[in-house]
């Protein structure tokens, strides 16, 4: 049986095959978070490792998108994406409007709601901000991946459509 994690790995390989895709974030080249294991087979030439500076990471991702790349900007936990809200809400979500339609950067944001098993990591590492993001972002698709049967389809849609997308994974389902 194909697991949730297998579907995520398949989707990441799909994205990696695209010549204009690039993965950026913490633990994309080096072990450190649970999301690393879903991209470890992707060639390092497609990855940019960043330190812990979420706001800058998303700003760099927007800049890369403005230059024709499609960054897959990885925030290991949704709690960390909150640190990039300035870039997300005030820039990426509003860029087309701010530029009078001249620029429409597309970033695929990959994040997860922190796993609560086998140990509870604490409230600052397991929050679900999906509804708040939906209220703040009017021009970004936001998709919570609750069913493994739609993971590949949603990542393909994120790559093929012309809007930025936030895909929210549930690591507690990785083995299901």
| CATH number of the domain to which 100 belongs | 3.40.50.970
- Residue 58 within a domain: yes
Q: For position 129, what pLDDT does the model report?
A: 97
- Residue 43 within a domain: yes
Cβ–Cβ under 8 Å, residues 22 and 48: yes
CA dist., res. 23 & res. 172, Å (int): 23
- Residue 176 within a domain: no
In the chain, the number of structural domains is 1
Q: For position 34, what pLDDT does the model report?
A: 82
- Residue 29 within a domain: yes
- Residue 120 within a domain: yes
For the segment 67-98, what is each residue's pLDDT rounded down to a tens digit? Answer: 999 999 999 999 999 999 999 999 999 999 99
- Residue 164 within a domain: yes
- Residue 57 within a domain: yes
Q: What is the pTM of this model?
A: 0.96
For the segment 96-145, what is each residue's pLDDT rounded down to a tens digit? Answer: 999 999 999 999 999 999 988 888 888 888 999 999 999 999 999 999 99
The residue-averaged pLDDT of 46-65 equals 97
Torsion-angle region of 62 (φ positive above 0: left; ψ -120 to 50: alpha; else: beta): alpha
Cβ–Cβ under 8 Å, residues 74 and 32: no
Sheet of strand 165-169, all strands in order from the earlier edge strand to the far edge: 47-49, 21-25, 70-75, 108-112, 165-169, 141-144
- Residue 99 within a domain: yes
Question: Whole domain around residue 39: which residue ranges?
Answer: 4-171
Q: Which long-range contacts (CB under 8 A, 24 or more apart) does 94-97 make?
A: 94/139, 95/62, 96/139, 97/139
For residue 47, list its beta bridge partners: 23
If we measure between CA atoms, which residue out of 144, 152, 147 comes closest to residue 173? 147
């Amino acid at each position: 049986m194909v697991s949730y994690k297998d579907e995520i790995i398949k989707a990441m390989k799909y994205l990696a095959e695209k010549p204009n895709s690039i993965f950026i974030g913490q633990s994309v080249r080096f072990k450190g978070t649970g999301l690393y294991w879903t991209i470890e087979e992707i060639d390092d030439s497609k990855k940019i490792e960043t330190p812990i500076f979420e706001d800058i990471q998303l700003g760099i991702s927007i800049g890369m998108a403005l230059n024709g790349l499609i960054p897959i900007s990885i925030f290991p936990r949704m709690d960390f994406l909150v640190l990039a809200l300035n870039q997300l809400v005030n820039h990426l979500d509003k860029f087309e409007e701010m530029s009078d339609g001249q620029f429409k950067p597309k970033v695929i944001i990959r994040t997860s709601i922190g796993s609560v098993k086998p140990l509870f990591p604490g409230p600052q590492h397991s929050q679900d901000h999906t509804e708040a993001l939906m209220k703040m972002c009017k021009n970004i698709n936001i998709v919570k991946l609750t069913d493994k049967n739609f993971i590949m389809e949603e990542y393909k849609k994120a790559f093929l459509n012309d809007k930025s997308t936030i895909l929210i994974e549930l690591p507690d389902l990785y083995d299901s």
